[in-house]
Structure 1
Amino acid sequence: MTERIVVGAALLDGGRLLAARRSAPEELAGRWELPGGKVEPGEAPEAALVRELREELGVDAEVIERVPGQWPLKSPYLLQVWTVRLLPGTPDPKPLQDHDALRWLEYGEVWDVDWLEQDVPAVREVAERLGAG
C-alpha cells in the first residue's frame, strides 16, 4: 500500500494559530484540528494545501515552510504540516466544509481546545514557534 499524504495548515496571523472544529465524520465531530486535506495524485503538497484552504475556509493563503516531522494517520495516510499565512486582502476564514467552527488561538490558548490526537505533535511544534515569535 502506497503512503498518501494529508496536508495540514498551521495558519498563523498576528501571533495566533487557527483551529478548526470538525463537523464530520461522526467519530471526529467536535474535536479540533489544523485545517487541510488529502493530496491528490500528481499534486504538490503545497498546492494541495492552498486548494484545501480555499475549499474549506474560503481563503487565499501562502505556504511558508514545512513543520519538521510527519505523523501517521489511519493507514495509508501520513500527516505533514506547513506554516501558512493569509494573503493580503483575503476574507476572514469561514467554516465552509467539514467544520462547524473556527477559532484563533493566542499562544497561551493553544491547549484550550480538544485537538485530534494526530494533530497534537504538530501543534506542539507550532506552539513552540509561536512562543518564540
Structure 2
Amino acid sequence: MLVVAAALIDPKGRVLVQRRKRSSEHGGLWEFPGGKVEPGETLPGALVRELAEELGIAIEPADLAALTFSTRLREDGRELALMLYSCRRWEGVPTALDAEAVAWHAPAGLGALDMPPLDIELARNAIPLLM
C-alpha cells in the first residue's frame, strides 16, 4: 500500500501537521497531511488530490520535492510505504477539513509531538533536511 504525505513549509520555516480525528486509527495523534494513492494515480498526483481534500489548498505537482520515506509491515501482512514530500508553495490557507486541527511547528519541535510510528520515523529523517 502506498501513502503520500507533505511537509508544507511556510516562509518562517515552520512545518504544518494535522491532528487525526479521535474516531480514526491513531486518533488524536499528529501527522503529516496526505493519504493513500489510488489506482492509476502518480504519487505527486495523489498528494495534490489529498491536500485539496484534507486542507483545501491547491498545489502544482512541480512544487513537490521527494524528501524521505518510511515502510512498515502491517498486521495483515501487506507492506505500507509512506512517502514524504516537501512543499513551499501552494494556493489557499490550509484548513482542517478532515482532521481535528492543524498547527505549524519548527522542524526541531516535530520530534516532541505524539505521532503514529511511521510519521515519527519520517519526522526523525526529515528534521535535518528541513533545518
Tell me whether 1:94 sits opposite 2:95 in the alignment: yes
Provide the residue aligned with 2:4 in structure 1: 7
Letter in 2 for 1:110: L
Provide the residue aligned with 2:86 in structure 1: 83
> CA 1:67 to 1:25, structure 2 compared with 1: closer, same or farther past 3 Å?
farther
Which secondary structure state, in structure 2, belongs to the residue aligned with residue 6 of structure 1? Answer: strand
Provide the residue aligned with 1:52 in structure 2: 50
Residue 117 of structure 1: how far off its partner (Å): 1.1
Separation in 1, partners of 2:70, 2:24 = 25
The share of aligned pairs that are identical, in percent, is 37
Provide the residue aligned with 1:38 in structure 2: 36
Across the two proteins, how many residue pairs are aligned to each other?
125
Moved more, 59-68 or 118-127: 59-68
Residue 25 of structure 1: how far off its partner (Å): 4.3
Which secondary structure state, in structure 2, belongs to the residue aligned with residue 13 of structure 1? Answer: coil
TM-score normalised over the length of structure 1: 0.83
Letter in 1 for 2:113: V
Following superposition, which runs of at least 4 residues in structure 1 exceed 3 angstroms of deviation? 24-27
Structure with a larger share of its residues in strand: 1
Letter in 1 for 2:82: L
